[in-house]
Amino acid sequence: MPVVRRMRERLPLGRRSPREDPGRTMKIGRKTIKSGVRSLQCARENCPPVRAVPCWLRRLAGKRPKPGVDIVGFLRSEIGLGEAARLMVAALDAGGIPAGLINVPLPGRMAEPALANRLAATSRHRTALAIFGAAEIAMFARRACRDQTNIAYPYWELPSFPAAWRHGFEHFDVHWAPTTFIRDALESIRSRPIHLVPQPVDLPAEPRQQPFTGPLKFHTFFDADSSIARKNPLGTIEAFRLAFPSGREDARLLVKARGGGSDAARLSSLLALTRQDPRIEIVDGTLTRAEMSALMEDCNVFVSLHRSEGFGLGCAEALARGKAVIATDFGGTRDFINEQTGYPVQFAETAVSPQDYFGTEGSYWAEPSLAHAASIMRAIYDDPGQTTAKTQAGFAHLKRHNSFGAVGRLIKERLG
């Protein structure tokens, strides 16, 4: 009895012991059993649609998924993140690494058919590589299968991650970064090992050289649903008009736009500027991958006066096709655009307004110098032949670090 007496003395005032309240014990028991059953079920979205044997039981039986990597991402979507995931699949193929494809649906943006025939397979592999924009960290963390090694491959455009996202990243076993910019940003919430695994880029067998004939053609593009403020197409238009003020220079600027976005004021300003200058053309709407490639092939110089980029796929694709690239010297593009490979544009650090982007928390990005960008445009116009050495060096850099073969080999080493 002394033991029972001491236990009762420790109960808070007004509380009854389980022995004195059998009904409460029964309720707790039912709740615990129900919760336990749910925790043992295999209901994660990355798992096969029908799994007769749940993950916990497979582990107890000593069964493991096959060696290889499952790519989890917007594989059917025509957005940049979708293309990044599809390019990673090609890198796994080049490295001889068995690959599974798990598409994350994105309603209204699932027009890309490239890998549709491979999405039906239900086999799963030991490793899952999730490719996503960092703002979707919570959704991708919830999808992770308990029976795999889960790797986060996030894209982000600011120098640090919001502290509130740290918990989501802790659901992954390791973090891979597409660029040194993102790798350094991940250090701000470091909770897992971080490795640099460059974003793969589709390269032709040999660098292409395009002779300058007719007008000098500049090209830029943006997705209004992403962030007009970050992509800064208005800056490119203003720099072009500053470089060629008379209107008689034999130069053209093509602006590829997509998405409606929520920034009506910036869209209105962009359209007003294009109407003022017949040398500026805007192409609005969703194009196929072949149509986008044709636009890129037709230009001489690709311009990205971004305020920040996690990677800068447009710049990399232009460099892969032998185009000169003018880009703000900030963000992920610094991995492959420098004085030897392209034309980095000077900038000033500026605070990010919460109205212009999300997850800012006092962060900063770049305000490119339009005067410097205009001087580069003019210099290329005056001497187009100067770009040849840079484009060749840029292609060689991509081949060493970002080709399917190079990234496939690196992933094989990481998995080993």
Mean pLDDT, rounded, of the chain: 85
Tokens 């409606």 belong to 260
CA 149 from chain centre, in angstroms, equals 20
- pLDDT the model gives residue 8: 35
As to burial, measured by CB atoms within 10 angstroms (0-12 exposed, 13-18 middle, 19+ buried), residue 308 is buried
Domain ranges of the chain: 55-197, 216-401
What CA–CA distance (Å, rounded) separates 171 from 148? 12
What CA–CA distance (Å, rounded) separates 306 from 328? 6
Q: 9-18, 86-95, 304-313, 347-356 — which is least confidently predicted?
A: 9-18
Tell me the pTM: 0.84
- pLDDT tens-digit profile of 271-329? 777 777 889 988 877 777 788 888 888 899 999 999 999 999 999 999 999 999 999 99
- pLDDT the model gives residue 225: 66
Is residue 311 a contact partner of residue 271, using CB atoms and an 8 Å limit?
no
The DSSP symbol for 254 reads: E
User: What 3-state DSSP class applies to 334?
Assistant: helix
Would you tell me how many other CB atoms lie within 10 Å of the CB of residue 105? 12
Task: Match domain 216-401 to its CATH number in 3.40.50.970, 3.40.50.11030, 1.10.3720.10, 3.40.50.2000.
Answer: 3.40.50.2000
What CA–CA distance (Å, rounded) separates 145 from 45? 8
What CA–CA distance (Å, rounded) separates 195 from 410? 11
- pLDDT tens-digit profile of 153-207? 999 999 999 999 999 999 999 999 999 999 999 998 887 999 999 999 999 988 7
**Domains 55-197 and 216-401 equal at CATH topology level:** yes
Is residue 300 a contact partner of residue 216, using CB atoms and an 8 Å limit?
yes
- pLDDT tens-digit profile of 104-126? 998 887 878 888 888 866 678 99
Tokens representing 22 are 């059998």
Name the CATH architecture for the domain at 55-197: 3-Layer(aba) Sandwich (3.40)
